[in-house]
Chain A
Amino acid sequence: MKLLKTYLDRCVQCGACMSACSKAWAKEDSPELSRVRVKTVTGMADIRVCDQCGGCIAVCPSLALSRDKDGVVRIDRKKCTSCLMCVGFCPSASMFFSDRIPSPYKCVACGICVRVCPEGALEIIDTGKEG
């Protein structure tokens, strides 16, 4: 199973990952549309990103969420009715939404952010396990 692994101790909160992610997936440089979120919590970095646990799959009423062959959880936008239950039930609060995008969105372990991170705080790994 592929996922984005984070190293909080290396993160300098520069925002490059969010910028690259939102440009790639939402076609604009906008942190609130990024699939990875860097926040400052009591001065320390906190990176919220999907760990592909799959908890959202069971709560989706329209079977819009499923794993692909790499174990990555993906949203079928044609089936999604934007009910946002997956957002409310995500254990890591890493399913995001915006009133500008019809469906919620999440990290699909594409690795775009990894390539722009100057400090090596992000890495795509394969756990070797099935989802």
Chain B
Amino acid sequence: MDKLAMKLLAEWSYDRAPLHRGYTRKYLVVDLGDGDGKYSHTIHDIDEDMIDTFTGGRGFGLKILWDAVSPAGRWDSPENALVISGGPICGITQYPGTGKTYTVFLSPLTEQTYNSNAGGYFGPYLKASGFDALAVTGKSPEYVVVSIDGDEGKVRVYAAPTDERNAYAVTEALHQAFAKNEDDLVSVSVVTAGRGAEHSWWGALNVSFYDPRRKVARLKQAGRGGGGTVLRDKGILALVVRKSGFTGSENDPADLATLQKVGTKLHREIRNNDDVQSLMRTTGTTHLNKIMNDYDILPVNNYKYGRSDAIGAITPEEYKKLFTQGYADGCWYGCSMACAKTVDGFELRTGPDRGKKVTVDGPEYETAAGLGPNVGVFDPRWTIESNYYADHYALDTISLGTGLAFVCECYELGLITKEHTGGLELRFGAADQLMELIHRMVDGRDEFALAVGKGIRKMKDIFARRYGADRAVMEKIGMEGQGLEVSQYRCQESVAQWGGYFLTLKGPQHDEAWVIFMDMVNKQLPTFEDKAEALFYFPNFRLWFSLVGVCKLPWNDVEPEDNRIRYKGIEAAKVPEHVQNYLDIYEAVTGKPLSEEDMILQSERVYNYERIFNYRMGKGTRKEHTIPDRALGPVFPDEWNVRKDYFEKKLEEAGIRGDGLSVEEKIARLQEHRRREWEKLVDAVYARRGWDRNGVPTKETVERLGLDSPEVLEVLEPYWKSAGRA
């Protein structure tokens, strides 16, 4: 192996706690000091109370973060903790999608808690090394590598052994450095960021696994929220875990036979159904491009349009041709969904690696849509190249896509000009100019690129202050909520999805609730109560994945053949047989029976805890739940005119007479109507979630969920008293 010169700064031995029924019941905190080079570590017990209240994964992350930070803490405070945790199911190999790593931290973008997840082998190896969670706090005065060797029982801090700071290079070098031999390369997993994350707040975390077929380290991203920015702010080049000899019973499950039975059943279901249901095994999530286009949901030109005549260039068939076929493309052992597609032997045309042939992980749908139609580019090869560099520089592809789309529209509206952009003509579809901007985001030297990398919310401030751009227009078209860029679904025709995006804990990310089809296409949520019920159930159901360490895709991206015969409407959307699978594997791992109701209760505890946490950090109330005009409907006449008949009908359905009104007036009326609908939705959703009209959990809710600990009451009791007086 290529041995880098590894200068050891600190080393500690520990006794590896055995994994038993999904837990080690220990977590590790590595503190990097206060810029003084004093490194320390502590190992903490996880007791039954912590498991009962927080379950694992993101739940543990939030609890550990809460204990680490004060209400005055911010993303770049030394006290901010980057917590990584798998969850009790994480690391089984028999069921697809069970290697997820969940990260929790205070976000630079949203200035509150964020949670983001990735595949790769870090979470399972961390557990097998003796820790249910790892938290890093403090700030190092120099770039360091923090490693955990589960075989040797050692935690080490090294000085960064290389000047490389971009993701593919760092990851490959550290796999080589930490593996004992070639067979051992699969025993290593690396979490790193890239140089872009040192300047941009869109910094992504890249989580690795070694692909023995391709003989390369692959990267999966916990991309959203700025986790990579936090990592580099702490002076961390990378986190490394090494654990050899991983087996299928590493979790010491209570009932291996059930895991085998349920897992092989789903493997067979995927084998039989994927080709007709989702094409995950051949095309990954890019199969969604065409479907979203067909339903006017694909974001085109900063979400102005939902479809494009140019769709033919980016269909699933086109991506299938570019992806290498026939390999086991799971991001953890046993994932037969195999959605982690790669483009192998891809020759880069730009940037520092120009001319190099590389393996590119992805693109997934979000990247294919964001760094594609949303910026007006319909060229898969451009998308693949931008995907490569975004990962390499550690820029979240979703925020990058939505952010660049905002920049393009500002440019086309004349809000910013070539004088501001450093000479770049950033129109929609300006592929070369946009690629150049991405490259300029890497080193923080270009003033405009630096501003872009701070995200849309800050861009609005900077463009208004520095360039005199019209603030009101930017507020209408900037697709962000709570400081986070919207992910790649155009939600304006689904009232329920307004909430799915903009009534979230952390900002508009689709992993809380994706209810567009249920609402808009299948018309299954006709009343506000129905929508509120969906926005109660699905966010809580999906949150459960983040507690136990599993991936969402095998839940509903493949279904039993008879799912839609046996069940109808929302019940079919829940995929009851797969819900039962999760209850079965939870019990099979932990030995604890779980009902569907208890599953939602586990989630509800953490959902509300996170909401309270955000309230504690000065957020978490109704005034943070805002929605831009572009998310509600058309803003400009060109958007209206492209679907004129449709919008005329919508106006009519709202009881508004359009006769004699200009298009601008019609747009204003529709927006006013939809804003009223939004407020009704907010009221209904808050009520269903057990929150007051200000979006804060009520005393009854906190008590019902058993969250009424002294630390929570200290935060909420003054509020409840003042709200009661009001």
Contacts and interface: CB of A to CB of B under 8 A. Distances in A.
Contact of A62 (B94, B266, B333): B333
Q: Which of B257, B260, B327 gathers the greatest number of chain A CB atoms within 10 Å?
A: B260
A97 B330 contact: no
Given A62-B186, A88-B271, A99 B334 contact: no
Contact of B268 (A61, A80, A83, A88): A88
A81 B333 contact: yes
A85 B267 contact: yes
B14 interface: no
A116 interface: no
A83 B260 contact: no
Interface string A51-68: 000000011111100000
A24 to B, nearest CB: 23
Nearest to B327: A58
Interface of B, helix, strand, loop or mixed by DSSP: loop
Contacts of B266: 88
Size band of the A side of the interface?
A: 10 to 19
A84 B249 contact: no
Interface of A, helix, strand, loop or mixed by DSSP: loop
B628 interface: no
B706 interface: no
A71 B256 CA distance: 32
Given A58-B326, A97-B264, A83 B213 contact: no
B93 A81 contact: yes
Interface string B192-230: 000000000000000000001100000000000000000
B12 to A, nearest CB: 29
B249 A61 contact: no
B246 A84 contact: no
A82 interface: yes
A2 B335 CA distance: 31
Nearest to B334: A83
A59 B326 CA distance: 8
B153 interface: no
Contacts of A63: 212-213
B248 A60 contact: no
Contacts of A88: 263-268, 270-271, 336
B358 interface: no
Contacts of B263: 83-84, 88
A83 B271 contact: no
A118 interface: no
A63 B93 CA distance: 15
A87 B94 CA distance: 10
Contacts of B94: 82-84
B257 A82 contact: no
B573 interface: no
Contacts of B42: none
A92 B336 CA distance: 18
B246 A81 contact: yes
A21 B257 CA distance: 22
Given A61-B328, A62-B186, A97-B264, A82 B213 contact: no
A60 B249 contact: no
Contacts of A83: 93-94, 248, 263, 333-334
B247 interface: yes
B328 A84 contact: no
A97 B256 CA distance: 11
Nearest to B92: A83
Contacts of B271: 88-89
A62 B249 CA distance: 16
Given A81-B93, A83-B93, A99-B256, A61 B334 contact: yes
Contact of B334 (A58, A84, A97, A103): A84
Contacts of A80: 248
Contacts of B328: 58-61, 85
A85 B212 contact: no
Interface in A98-115: 99, 102-103
A88 B328 CA distance: 13
Interface string B243-286: 00011110000001100100111111011000000000000000
Contacts of B265: 88
A84 B304 CA distance: 46
Contacts of A58: 326-328
Contact of A81 (B256, B268, B334): B334
Given A58-B327, A59-B328, A84 B186 contact: no
Contacts of B335: 61
B247 A82 contact: yes
Contacts of B186: 62
Contacts of A103: 248
Given A60-B328, A102-B247, A84 B267 contact: yes
B260 A84 contact: yes
A83 B212 CA distance: 16
A82 B270 contact: no
Interface string A19-45: 000000000000000000000000000
B264 A82 contact: no
A61 B264 contact: no
A87 B212 contact: no
Can you list the 6 inter-chain pairs with the closest CB atoms, starting with the nearest? A88-B267, A82-B248, A83-B334, A99-B257, A83-B93, A99-B256
16 contacts: A58-B327, A59-B328, A59-B336, A61-B328, A61-B334, A81-B93, A81-B247, A83-B248, A84-B93, A84-B248, A84-B263, A85-B267, A88-B263, A89-B271, A102-B247, A103-B248
Given A61-B334, A81-B247, A85-B328, 10 more contacts: A59-B328, A61-B330, A63-B213, A81-B93, A83-B333, A84-B93, A84-B94, A88-B271, A97-B264, A99-B260
